[in-house]
Amino acid sequence: MPTITLPTKRIIQLINWTDSLERLAERIAMLGTDVEHVTEEEIRVEIFPNRPDLLSHTLFAKALKDFTNPHARDTLFQPPTARSGKKILINPAMKRVRPYTLAALVTNLTLTQEDLDLIIQLQEKLDITHHRNRAKAAAGIYPADHIAWPITFTTINPDETDFTPLGMTKPIKARDILTQHPKGKQYAHLLTGLNEWPAFKDANGNILSIPPIINSEETGRVTPATRSVFIEVSGHHLPTLRTSLAILTATLILLGGTLQSITIQYPEEYEGVHGSIETPSFTPHETGLSKREAERLIGISMTEDEFDTLLARMGHVRRGSIILTPAYRADIHHPIDIIEDITIAYGYENIQPSLPRIHTNGKPHPREEHAAHIRNILTRLAYHETYTHHLIRKEDEDTILGKHVKPVLMENPLTEQTSGFRRSIITPLLHAERENQQEKYPHKLFSLGRIARVEGKRVIEEDELVILYADPTRGISQLQQDVHALFHALGIAEDITYTPLLSDDAVKAFWPGRGMIIHHKEKEIGMISEIKPSILTSLGIHTPVFIARLALPLLPLKPTKPYQDLTDL
């Protein structure tokens, strides 16, 4: 989630705040952001990704001002628009390069350096989230004064075009931006390998920018002296472009600018949009929602007047059975999104908790009950349950288990320590024993849980129980007694048989001749073995270790006989 920093004084001035900073912080949180801190100097908040409009300092202030106004009315943002008569022509080739652009002109501006910095912050945060690191869309803002109209949105050959990117003094070959300019390096993956690049060119043939990378140094630098700006967004996803253009334009209008629309001339045959369109569009989103529907889901009742006020406090307005929402909101997919806004305005803190009158029976899952039962038996035998991680370094496990079982491997682990999903709990439990060498003996540990492997191309998940016994003086008979006590407690001891363990094929760390295979009614359910001294030495363990490994689902709970009634005796 993106975090933004806003100057406290400016926000207080924009919303006429007179209460304390604590109250301000609380209101900002209850509007629907994650507040990091509010100090005399700055407000730091995380903005949820569904509300890119709140990344703008002026839209943030407007939202907060409406939200904190108990008598809010007519808050829907719908600026007057005049046609500028200016045009952007779309080259049909753009369909395969960068299909869409939308644009606007804002004039009569007086911008401070602070405003400019906050607009740059807005652009950067939009890029990270709403624009998906510019893969989906990118925006540019230019001083409008030096542009010769009409602009064309067209392709260039990056190897034959000279261009001076913002921040450089001399022109370079367009393709060299990707290796020489910081923004070029950052977004190189978006253009690398392409031989047709998108560009905005003005009527004099000057390249205004190469989206989604960078503006031109000559025509793309906005300063506090700039009075009117040209704003464009371009990319692959029209709904994203519409929202972004509305956010950027509204931000400047709220700083006192005057909006003028631009005509975008698309080819007649074009997917999604064709012919002339006038942008930006501040036509509100329309959502059908009745007061009754909202009341039913929230669990409150409102008067018509209260309903309208709650809507207005979130920037919406009601027209008949339709709710109008400003064009810069990206999060209204469904009437339920309006219901959430109403609840936020009502205040989550004002909702009375209650439980529905629903009767159901609690029911534990047999797998969890079974595990709990086994844990209970082992703890009675004085074993400690030990946490073992599901993820492990694949090579560490190869050393202990061998390589015959195919592990589930991670595509992108942050560290080698999490490169594979454990194939058995044996390795992590041996690692736990290594950590415990300074502790008083005997060590009696167990861990149960999920293991996984790949067979063919499929993942198999299973449950496993591993028990570890380590003591300088006592040996396998102690562990065997304890494991047999487990079988006894489960009621299956009389069906258990043991055969000698003669190979380390199943577990490389097990010591042939010094272990046994455990069978329940002829079916192999596990093994018990001393760990080979060479393995112990390689792990740095200096005490004999014994391990029992059991397939958890194969440890059945024998049904106990029902109690006989005393009268039957």
Partner 1 sequence: MRLHEKEYVERTLTEEEQQVLAFLKQHEHATLDTLRERLGMADARLGKAILWLEQKGLIKREEQDERVLTRTPKGDEAAQHGLPEERLAQLLQEQSLSMREAKHLLGEAFNIALGILKRANTVRIDQGKLLLIKPYTSPLAQSIHQQTLPVDHPHAQELVKRGLYTPTKEKRITLHLTEKGRTIRIIRGLHDSLTPDMLRTGAYANKRFRAYTIAPRIIPADAGNEHPTTRFIQHIRRVWLSLGFEEITGNLIQTSFWNFDALYTPQDHPAREMHDTFFIKNAQADLPDAKLVRRVKQTHEHGWTTKSTGWQQAWRKREAKRLVLRTHTTVLSAQALSKITTADLPLKVFSIGTVFRNETLDWKHLFEFHQVEGIVAAPSLTFQHLKGYLTTFFTSLGYEAVRLRPAYFPYTELSVEVDVKIPGKGWMELGGAGIFRPEVVKPLTGKWIPVLAWGLGLARIIMQTYNLTDIRDTQAAKLSILRSLPDPDQHFYAKHE
**Contact residue for partner 1 among 120, 148, 203, 372 (CB under 8 A):** 372
Contact between 100 and partner 1 (CB under 8 A)?
A: no
**Is residue 86 a contact partner of residue 230, using CB atoms and an 8 Å limit?**
no
Question: CA-to-CA distance for 473 and 543, rounded, in angstroms?
Answer: 9
**234 is an interface residue for partner 1 by CB under 8 A:** no
Residue nearer to partner 1 on the CB measure, 387 or 563: 387
**Can residue 124 be called a binding residue for partner 1 (CB under 8 A)?**
no
Q: Is 21 in the site for partner 1 (CB under 8 A)?
A: no
Determine the Cα angle at 42 with ends 40 and 44, to 5°: 135
Q: Does 85 bind partner 1 (CB under 8 A)?
A: no
Residues 166-185 close enough to bind partner 1 by CB under 8 A: none
**267 contacts 90 by C-beta, under 8 angstroms:** yes
Separation CA 359–CA 69 (nearest Å): 42
- H or E segment at 444? strand 443-455
| Count of chain residues binding partner 1 (CB under 8 A) | 96
Integer Cα distance of 336 and 317 in angstroms: 16
315-334: contacts with partner 1 (CB under 8 A):
331-334
Smallest separation (angstroms) from partner 1 to the CB of 403: 14
Does position 481 interact with partner 1 (CB under 8 A)? The reply is: no
CB of residue 533 vs partner 1: minimum separation in angstroms? 23
- When asked if residue 452 is in the footprint of partner 1 (CB under 8 A), the reply is yes
In the list 459, 497, 499, 503, the residue contacting partner 1 (rule: CB under 8 A) is 459
Q: Which helix (H) or strand (E) holds 391?
A: strand 391-392
In angstroms, what is the minimal distance from the CB of 293 to partner 1? 11
79 binds partner 1 (CB under 8 A): no
Question: Cβ-count burial of 104 within 10 angstroms (0-12 exposed, 13-18 middle, 19+ buried)?
Answer: buried
Order of strands across the sheet that contains 317-319: 285-288, 322-325, 317-319
Give yes or no for residue 414 binding partner 1 (CB under 8 A): yes
Residue with tokens 């050959």: 157
Q: What is the DSSP letter of 458?
A: E
Find the binder of partner 1 among 343, 424, 427, 529 (CB under 8 A): 343
Backbone angles phi, psi at 394, to 5 degrees: -55, -45
Interface with partner 1 by CB under 8 A: which range of 181-189, 207-215, 251-259, 453-461?
453-461
Assigned token pair, 562:
């029902």
Q: In Å, how far are 73, 222, 382, 528 from 476, measured between CA atoms?
A: 80, 79, 16, 8
167, 239, 500, 512: residue in contact with partner 1 (rule CB under 8 A):
239
Cβ at position 547, least distance to partner 1 in Å: 15
Selected binder of partner 1 within 358, 560, 562, 566 (CB under 8 A): 358
* Segment contacting partner 1 by CB under 8 A, of 118-126, 184-192, 406-414, 553-561: 406-414
Q: Give me the least distance between CB of 457 and partner 1, in Å please.
A: 5
Half-sphere exposure in the Cβ direction for 23 (13 Å, CA): 6
Q: How far apart are CA 281 and CA 465, in angstroms?
A: 63
Which 129-148 positions form the footprint of partner 1 (CB under 8 A)?
Answer: 129, 132, 135-136
- The answer to whether 54 contacts partner 1 (rule: CB under 8 A) is no
Query: Among residues 389, 474, 508, 519, which is the contact residue for partner 1, using CB under 8 A?
Result: 389
Site for partner 1 in 280-299 (CB under 8 A): 288, 296-299
Which of 45, 214, 248, 408 forms a contact with partner 1 (CB under 8 A)? Answer: 408
Helices 335-346 & 304-313 angle (0-180, nearest 10)? 90
Piece of 106-114, 209-217, 302-310, 411-419 that binds partner 1 (CB under 8 A):
411-419
Least distance CB 131 / partner 1 (angstroms): 11
191 backbone dihedrals φ, ψ, rounded to 5° = -125, -15
Question: Which amino acid is located at 270 in the chain?
Answer: Y
120's CB contacts (< 8 A; 6+ apart) are: none
| Site stretch for partner 1 (CB under 8 A), options 185-193, 225-233, 303-311, 435-443 | 435-443
Q: Does 354 bind partner 1 (CB under 8 A)?
A: yes
Residues 242, 163 contacting (CB under 8 angstroms): no
Q: Given the complex with partner 1, which of 191 and 330 has the nearer CB atom?
A: 330
